[in-house]
Amino acid sequence: MRATNWFALLLLVGLAAGCKPKYPKCEADKDCRKGEFCVNQTCQQCRGDADCGRGKTCASGRCDGIPGWCETVADCPAGQGCKDNRCSPCDADDQCGGGKCRAGRCLKPGQCVVDDDCPEGSECHDGFCVAPPPEGAAGDGPCKLESVRFAFNESVLSAQSVEAMARNLECLRSAGNRGVRVEGLCDPRGTEEYNLALGDRRARAAATYLSRAGIASSRLRAVSKGKLEARGTDEASWTQDRRVDLFWE
């Protein structure tokens, strides 16, 4: 048999066997990897948006996330609501996941703009719902309470802060059962959410010091203000923002 006949025979056998195209080339979906589709003889992730699932769109055969897409308000940046599966300024409370919509901004439970945003028995103070001071209680107490400072991104009391807390401890011991509000504050760097958490850790560190030293925990109320009262513009002034303040109630 001539060589040309052998070549034709081999070609026919190959065609009959169905030679598989080299990936990512394809003739059908079965030539692609699991979950891929053969489109225009090329394997790709999707043929249309329906192949990508929620929150994604099919772009040039690839499933990409939709910018600003949300399932709930938890998927959105702080202060934004989830409206029609898109993060945006809110215009109704139901876009805030249990919070309140005020002037286009979602307030989390416990945050406020006015007293009416707070539960009964609380009032709005510097953006947070807090219990009002006892009736007749003056702002000044029987002795002076000192602020304590913290290092950058720290919530552990330094040696200098412990000295100030020791003086606060003696002051509280001389004040009977008078209550104290322990407020944690941060410098303006970082997100609002992160600084609220950091301020809470600082307030709790100071309150824990006092309670372990014998001050009844019922007298102490830890509150985080995050960076709401930050005034610093450089490292020297930021050190003044990183603190815990104590107030008589």
The answer to whether residues 183 and 217 belong to one domain is: yes
pLDDT of residue 185: 94
- Taking residue 121's Cβ as centre, other Cβ atoms within 10 Å add up to 8
pLDDT of residue 10: 47
Q: Which residues of the chain fall below pLDDT 70? A: 1-19, 121-122, 126, 130-140
What's the sign of the alpha-carbon dihedral 155, 158, 161, 163? positive
The answer to whether residues 112 and 161 belong to one domain is: no
The answer to whether residues 28 and 108 belong to one domain is: no
Q: Domain for residue 152, yes or no?
A: yes
The answer to whether residues 40 and 98 belong to one domain is: no
CATH code of 219's domain: 3.30.1330.60
Q: Domain for residue 226, yes or no?
A: yes
Does the reported pTM lie above 0.75? no
Q: Domain for residue 33, yes or no?
A: yes
The answer to whether residues 225 and 198 belong to one domain is: yes
pLDDT of residue 137: 40
Report the alpha-carbon distance of residue 132 to residue 15 in Å, rounded. 86
The answer to whether residues 125 and 161 belong to one domain is: no
Q: Which domain holds residue 29?
A: 21-64
- What 8-state DSSP symbol labels residue 231? -
The answer to whether residues 152 and 126 belong to one domain is: no
List helix spans (H) across 18-117.
Answer: none
Q: Domain for residue 84, yes or no?
A: yes
Q: Domain for residue 12, yes or no?
A: no
In order of 97, 98, 148, 209, 240, the CA distances from 167 in angstroms are: 43, 42, 11, 12, 19
Q: Domain for residue 160, yes or no?
A: yes
pLDDT of residue 78: 84
Nearest to 83, CA basis, from 100, 68, 102, 67: 68
For the chain, how many structural domains are there in total?
A: 3
The answer to whether residues 37 and 120 belong to one domain is: no
The answer to whether residues 216 and 233 belong to one domain is: yes
